[in-house]
Structure 1
Amino acid sequence: MFRIAHKGKTVSLRKKIADSEAVQNWVARRIASYFRLVHRSSRWQRIGFETLDALVDDGEPVIVVLWHQRLTQSPYLFPLDKAPICTITSSARAGSMAGRVQQLFGMDTIAMSSHKRHVALSREVLGKIRQGISIGIAADGPRGPERVCSTVPLIWARTSGKRVFAVTYSARNAHEAGTWDRLFLPRPWTEGVILCREWTQSVPRKADADQIEALRLDLQALLNDLTAEADRMVGRTPNSGEG
């Protein structure tokens, strides 16, 4: 009985620590500091952002999509010095931490939970867009399957009429974590590329299921092609393991 109770107290204490606002904020600051170190200590090429930059310079919000695997450098995949962006995160512990980190870089976030209806989430997102705020979303988040694009960016593009841009990055010296998305973790003092490409398809107002599926696959292919291109540019084999 003593052992069971003792174990229960230990688990409860760990949970309290993990759920502590102070602890979570401390961890978020440490993560953000590491991401800044990676970016500042490395040499980066930023390619293909001319159209996106021009739009946000004019106050035009856009929809930015990427794979969940390439989230760690997300604060550098949008010109935060030019315009605001709001990202969609999960309300689960890992997603909440990602949101805290992004907020430290000046990004706004909306937490997506199983209790929040898609209609309510879309209403909140479209409200941000009407305020001139761009939207960022991991197309296969928050739980995957890995690199399977959801229809959510398409629906928001159709409803808002805003242009969609795929973004990604890669780095020569990095490894992939053992998570569902094989999270890409670049190391400091490396070389990397940050790529952007517009998705030029339009989503018809009355698109049927077959049209939506074809467009979903097209956006998925763009994200895969762009990420593979970034990997090749830094000398990595696309979808490689630890580097």
Structure 2
Amino acid sequence: MIVPFIASIFIRLLYATNKKKFHSPDSVGNKPIIFACWHGELLMLPYLYLKYRKIPHAKVLISSHFDGMLISKTIKYFGLETISGSTNRNATRVLMQGIKALKDGYDIGITPDGPKGPRHEVADGIIAMAKKTDAEIVLVEMKPTKFWQLKSWDRFIIPKPFGTLNYYSTSPINISSLEIEDARNLIKENLLKHES
């Protein structure tokens, strides 16, 4: 399939033609981490991950729909593996695979409001995985200064060339002692810090 290859080249070109600013901690440690961003800001996430892991060792939770399959094949060009499914369909299987991957030493990439929304609402999957494994969470925002925004449910953002990609990410957060609603609110608050 040629589309994922072309998409991977397009992503690399967008990254290369933008300035980059990382408003992020220097390190997130060596333990398996859950990296999370909103579904609409997913496109350039691999580069934030590769800032911390020179050799990628991660599985990204991706929808089992057709668009998810395209994303899955595209991110393989960045050295990332996938877990196919969603928090709506096959929820238990996906959750168990995510937990197993963390215990096996993989980082996890997840969109807390994916794959179908509601936009900017945190589903239970990320909380359950973090609590079951005691894994910490790094929350990521990707804010380009110039971008196209689709009219999809997630208002998907595609950076334009010749702007600046601003990456904001938290230090690793441990939610194991928090109630579910408190954890949900903390995740949402940190993912909306730089929302205009």
User: Could you tell me the TM-score, scaled by structure 2's length?
Assistant: 0.91
**Could you tell me how far apart the structure 1 residues matched to 2:48 and 2:120 are?**
18
Partner of 2:153: 180
Q: 1:97 aligns with which of 70, 76, 98?
A: 70
Partner of 2:80: 107
Partner of 2:42: 71
**Could you tell me how far apart the structure 2 residues matched to 1:27 and 1:202 are?**
38
Asked if the contact 1:70/1:169 (under 8 Å) is kept, the reply is yes
Which blocks of at least 5 consecutive residues in structure 2 are unaligned?
Answer: none
Flag the structure with larger Rg. 1
4+ aligned runs moved over 4 Å, structure 1: none
SS at match of 2:122: coil
Q: Which amino acid aligns with 1:78?
A: Y
Partner of 1:42: 18
Q: Which amino acid aligns with 1:44?
A: K
Partner of 1:140: 113
SS at match of 2:84: strand
CA RMSD in angstroms, aligned pairs only: 1.7
Q: Which amino acid aligns with 1:99?
A: S
Q: 1:167 aligns with which of 140, 150, 169?
A: 140
Asked if the contact 2:59/2:81 (under 8 Å) is kept, the reply is yes
**Could you tell me how far apart the structure 1 residues matched to 2:175 and 2:122 are?**
16
Q: May I ask how many residue pairs the two structures share in their alignment?
A: 193
SS at match of 1:50: coil
Question: Structure 1 residue 38: deviation in Å?
Answer: 0.5
State whether structure 2 residue 38 is matched by structure 1 residue 62: no
Partner of 1:20: none
Q: Which amino acid aligns with 1:37?
A: L
Asked if the contact 2:135/2:174 (under 8 Å) is kept, the reply is no
RCO (CA 8 Å, sep 6+): is it higher in 1 or 2? 2
Q: What does the per-residue CA deviation read over 1:156-176, in whole Å, with 9 as the maximum and x for residues that have no partner?
A: 110001111101211111121
Partner of 2:57: 84
Asked if the contact 2:56/2:80 (under 8 Å) is kept, the reply is no
Partner of 1:123: 96
The structure with the greater share of residues assigned to helix is 1
**Could you tell me how far apart the structure 2 residues matched to 1:119 and 1:192 are?**
35
Q: What does the per-residue CA deviation read over 1:85-139, in whole Å, with 9 as the maximum and x for residues that have no partner?
A: 11000010111111111111110101115652x3322221122112211001001
Which blocks of at least 5 consecutive residues in structure 1 are unaligned?
Answer: 1-24, 229-237, 239-243
Q: 1:220 aligns with which of 184, 188, 194?
A: 188
**Could you tell me how far apart the structure 2 residues matched to 1:72 and 1:30 are?**
14
